[in-house]
Amino acid sequence: MQHTKIALTGASGFVGKELQKHFRECVIIKRDDNETDILKKLQNVDVVINLAGAPIVQRWSEAYKKVLYRSRIETTKRLVSAINRSHVSYFISTSAIGIYPNSTSCDEKCTQFDNGFLGTLCQAWEAEARKCVKPTAILRFGVVLGKEGGALKKMLLPFKLGMGGTIGSGEMMMSWIALSDLMHMYQFLVQHRYEGIFNAVTPKPVSNKVFTKSLGKALKRPTFLPLPEFVLKLFYGEGASILLDSKEVYPKAIEEKGFVFEYEEIGLIFRSKDV
């Protein structure tokens, strides 16, 4: 990526680590930094990328829900307050496609939102980001696929052991993006300074059944053992909704700006060196 000094929250996560490889100069903002600390770190910073947030694929106890909320909302609130007092010229914050309703085809013009915990969390998160007075973009992440971590890393072991299979009926839709395309999307936004909401997903979402068959084929492993929904609910409780919800989401806004995906088809990502 071009020589742009950025500050980054959520630097220890899957996407944060990858961004540090792409930007030459990177200032790390920690979750427990106060506003004064952040303001010092923002000196001579051009762009801030906000990825703060505790891992979402966990069991959602009432206590952990508070962690999920604080790690996103409170961190973003402090960050935005500091950015508004700084010379930062551009802000990219994060959200998730969990904001959209289930089993509904959506692009960024969708005005319906999910009223469950994740949907309301995303709405509150975006509301804090919108308080930024600098040009702001918000990326709504789908499932990010890359070999170094994230959802795919958790899935690989059962598949390699021949125990990968569809979840429930396998009919739920999954909106995903290759990690390399996500990096190019950040590069594209930083270069052009576009503002607004952008869905960070490929234009070709797939059903869980298609995803499972594609991954099994790439790994040359069987995929005939289905994973019952109740098993996921036993492990994750309400948090299983991340894996069970059906989200059919399209990246219309970024495509209208001229962005081109390298990995549109699920089969391409599994055949690439990136996985």
Question: In tens digits, what is the pLDDT along the chain, a chain of 275 residues?
Answer: 456 899 999 999 989 999 999 988 899 999 899 999 999 999 999 999 999 999 887 889 999 999 999 999 999 999 999 999 999 999 999 999 999 999 999 999 999 999 999 999 999 999 999 999 999 999 999 989 887 666 666 666 677 767 677 887 889 999 999 999 999 999 999 999 999 999 999 999 999 899 888 888 877 777 777 778 877 788 788 888 887 899 999 999 999 999 999 999 888 777 665 55
Q: Which residues of 175-214 are buried (b: 16+ CB within 10 A; e: fewer)?
A: bbbbbbbbbbbbbbbbeeebeebbbbbbbebbbbbbbbbb
What pLDDT is attached to residue 1? 45
Residue 149 backbone dihedrals phi, psi, to 5 degrees: 170, -155
Tokens standing for residue 116: 């469950």
Whether residue 1 contacts residue 189, with contact meaning beta carbons closer than 8 Å, is answered with no
- Distance of alpha carbon 132 from the chain centroid: 20
Angle among Cα 133, 12, 39 to the nearest 5 degrees reads: 35
Angle among Cα 270, 272, 275 to the nearest 5 degrees reads: 60
- Side-chain-side CA neighbours of 251 within 13 Å: the count stands at 28
Tokens standing for residue 41: 């770190």
d(CA 95, CA 106): 15
Q: Which of 86, 1, 92, 16 is nearest to 45 (CA)?
A: 86
Q: Which residues, at least 6 apart from 152, have a Cβ–Cβ distance to it below 8 Å? A: 145, 146, 275
What pLDDT is attached to residue 153? 67
What pLDDT is attached to residue 109? 96
Tokens standing for residue 224: 């005939």
What pLDDT is attached to residue 227? 77
